[in-house]
Structure 1
Amino acid sequence: MATVVLIGTCDTKLEELLFLRSQIHQLNGLQVVMIDVGRNSVSHDAITITRTELITQFGGKNPPDTSIIPQNELLKFMSSCVTNAVRSLFTAGRIQGIISAGGSGGTSLAAPAMRTVLPIGFPKLIVSTVASGDTGPYVGESDIAMLYSVVDIAGLNSVLRDVLSNAAAFIAAAALGYATRQSRLQSATEGKKKKRIGITMFGVTTPAVDAIRRYLSDLPRSDYETLVFHATGHGGRAMEKLIREGAIDAVIDLTTTEICDLVVPGSVMSAGPERLSAAAEAGIPCLISLGATDMVNFGPKETVPERYAGRKLYVHNSAVTLMRVDQEEAKQVGEFIAGKVRGSKEPGKVELWVPKGGVSVMSKAGGVFENREVDAVLFGTVKAGLEGSEVRIVEDERDVNDEGLARDIAAALVRLMGES
């Protein structure tokens, strides 16, 4: 059995929400917890948590007068209420899936509850009129699935019935699958849980990551599971999120290129200023390298800001243009990395590896981004920033994609994890 939370504004979309509820309920007898987040109170037997109950139980000690506050403040308040409600239901183990249906307001109201409370792997689905546009602000680094409603959620019709019926089938199947997985995890026959290792990768560091994965999987009695994150901004943030959720046991942060996009204005693949923070704060074994810190990412070549005219550019494909980092940018990247690494909770579990032969396939000898002077600034800045710390620095003459270096890095992490 499984239970799905259904979030919606019952004062404006009750008919549609009731249809969605009925479609979920009739699939293998799933239960539905329906939460009303509308502006005005509605009475209906199908509503599990009414608007009044939501505010009274989950709105804090002194909730505002929702009849007079502006719409944007109401959305923010109701979002906090439903977030608290979902947290309570999830913590109690009462739910196995969540779904919402609405326009931009309903979507922005429900998304934070899914994004901030529920872990990766918990089924989350939003049916929305804005799902065909930029969904980044709603999804963030979570695994929220979004389904475009095609027509407005304003009265049932043949199109909306089909969309909502599909949504019901999607969330029902996912919730049942999640419930089954959780049951198996709790079973004594599940066996030893594998250690989860997060690895960051970019196209120009793929050979190294492939070699690391092969090394770990070929170990006798291998108990390792690798989670590879594409270092495109969202990938780095996703890894940081999973570390904070306790879903990663150790990290090979081979590809720290997102920091270049953080320090270079106008670039498009920054993971934000919290990059490298989660592992340092958690104190888990962490091996860090400088993969792809020779480059910054832009969109199509015509979108590269005018201020970078004259810089070394490389058109990776029609949608991605790379720019070679210069000495000042390399210095900023090095200072950022050193500052984060120095703050590690367990510095003895951290190593920083410097691939002096090249930080990507493009900056090794003969590569289009080869520039030993800039590399020297980066390497020197990192070393100087970690001087006097307990973090071990390993300088290696090989390039980052050298298979031998990759295997040595993997072996070093195994050692940091206290294993032979």
Structure 2
Amino acid sequence: MTKTILVIGTFDTKAEELDYLIKRIRNQGGNVVAMDVSVLGDPSQPVDVTKHEVAGAVGETIEVLIALGEEGEAFERMSAGAAVMTRRLFDEGKVDGMIALGGSMGTDLALDCAQALPIGVPKYIVSTVAGSPLIAAERMAVDVQFILWAGGLYGLNPLCRSSLSQAAGAVLGAALSVEPPRFDRPVIGMTSLGSSCLKYMKRLHPALTARGYDVAVFHTTGMGGMAFERLAAEGAFACVMDFSLQELVNVLHGSVVSAGADRLSGAGLSGTPQMVAPGASDILDLAGWQEIPARFSERPFHQHNRLIKNIAFNAEERTAIAREIVDRLAAAKGPTQYFLPRKGIEEWDKPGAPAHDAEGLSAFVAATEAAAAGRVSLTALDCHINDDTFCNAVLEQFDTWVAEGIVTSGKLS
């Protein structure tokens, strides 16, 4: 049951903190592989992977990196080497998880190392900028864990020890107890915005499970869409049902509630069969702490909770959104079916609800049908996205794709 943790950090500037973390892991029965990612200085204690080995993993030398004279560029190249070494150590069976310490520079490097590891491998980052909007969604591994490093910028102190001791227990405990994903059945990747705004997953999940599939539902509030896109691009799903697209409109209109600029592209790039609907694309998500931009000050407004608030788009904006969705789907390499519920695309756009806008919905439907003609296979439905009619149409198309061999059957022999 002994597990080995890869500990990553700059052993020239954070040796005391890293040494404390290593001792805590070892005191709990874990083993450690220490990897130094310093550039300028030398570690004050022996390490298992030297900075020279890290730089050499991508054909660099420390001397060349120092000669660059640019701290950011040098560390970016070290990040590339650290990511290569992280994956190499894992592939060779030498480590069972990773943990990295850092401020903004160390966090930048740690993000690359975490992305180098497969899903299910424990990956922890103890960071002074954990949870910060400085960290873009597309930089994060789909199952990375962050721990805010309180009082951890320089030197050990009671606050720092508290964070690091918890981190040591977290990464070792995760390595001991993790159940890596086993894909014994084909997986359907589905998106939704909770279960009150969009309700189809309550009907589709059990129906797909009964057909022999596992269903992974991603909450489209930025991080969920990031994970969904990353896995879809890697071909992790037998089929995707991407029915919640407000992360796409968020990135188009500058919201921090973003899954990255490549939203609605991953499945298309990998050729994964995809079913798409424009769920919740009529509203802009804003972080609860964000001020409402002046151009939206007179719009219908919904305060979902203290974390998220929503603003409705007008007819002109929805026309542009309709065209953008179709443009992205038209670039897909695999089978694509676009479902268009003509009577509404989320619970709050029904008559009497805060985001109801008959003119805007009509403009969206017309623009979608015009843009899709001859470019994307479109199924227009005279229903609301939360009606059973929508789910019935999706399941009918899904069963057709299974019968035609487009989607792997869930009834594996």
- State TM-score, norm by structure 2: 0.86
2:215 alignment partner, one of 226, 237, 251: 226
Alpha-carbon offset, residue 412 of structure 1: 2.3
Which letter maps to 1:294? D
CA distance in 2, matches of 1:62, 1:20: 26
Which of 162, 186, 204 matches 1:212?
Answer: 204
The answer to whether 1:363 aligns with 2:364 is no
Q: Confirm or deny that 1:15 pairs with 2:7.
A: no
Q: Tell me how far 1:206 sits from its aligned partner.
A: 3.1
Letter in 2 for 1:413: F
Cα deviations by residue, 1:28-66 (Å, 9 ceiling, x for unpaired): 3x3322111113453677411112222234344897241
Question: What one-letter code is carried by the residue in structure 1 that aligns with 2:345?
Answer: V
Give me the whole-angstrom Cα distance separating, in 2, the residues matched to 1:257 and 1:130.
26
Instruction: Answer yes or no: is the 8 Å Cα contact 2:121–2:180 preserved in 1.
Output: no
Task: Output the TM-score relative to the length of structure 1.
Answer: 0.85
Structure 2 residue 246 is the aligned partner of structure 1 residue 257: yes
Say if 2:34 and 2:49, in contact at 8 Å, map to a contact too: yes
Q: Distance in 2 between matches of 1:156 and 1:267?
A: 37
Aligned ranges for residues 303-382 of structure 1 at < 5 Å?
Answer: 303-346=291-334, 349-382=335-368
- Residue pairs, 1:186-201, within 5 angstroms: 193-201=184-192
Hey, what does 1:24 align to over in structure 2?
25
Q: Distance in 2 between matches of 1:61 and 1:414?
A: 56
Aligned length: 402
* Per-residue deviation, 1:154: 4.1
Over aligned residue pairs, what C-alpha RMSD do you find?
A: 2.9
Partner of 2:262: 274
Residue aligning to 1:89: 89
Residue 234 of structure 2 corresponds to 245
SS in 2 for 1:354: strand
1:99 aligns with 2:99: yes
Percent identity, aligned pairs only, is: 29
**Structure holding more helix per residue:** 1
Moved runs in structure 1, 4+ residues, more than 6 A? none
Name the CA distance, whole Å, in 2 between partners of 1:261 and 1:154.
37
CA deviations on 1:369-392 (whole Å, 9 max, x unpaired) are 333332222222222222223x43
1:329-380 Cα offsets, whole Å, 9 max, x none, are 111111111111111212xx32111111211112234434333332222222
Provide the C-alpha distance between the structure 2 equivalents of 1:27 and 1:313, rounded to a whole number of angstroms. Answer: 51
Encode CA deviations 1:282-315: one digit per residue, 9 max, x unaligned.
1112111111122122345982111223333333
Structure 2, gaps ≥5 residues long: none
CA contact (8 A) 2:188 2:214 kept: yes
Q: Which residue of 2 aligns with 1:51?
A: 51
CA distance in 2, matches of 1:43, 1:140: 28
Aligned counterpart, 2:285: 297
Residues 111 and 140, structure 2, Cα contact 8 Å, conserved in 1? no
Structure 1 stretches lacking a partner, 5+ long: 186-191
Query: How far, CA to CA, are the matches of 1:129 and 1:62 in structure 2?
Result: 26
Alpha-carbon distance between aligned partners in 2 of 1:368 and 1:18, rounded to the nearest angstrom: 55
Cα gap change, 1:299/1:407 in structure 2, threshold over 3 Å: closer, same or farther? same
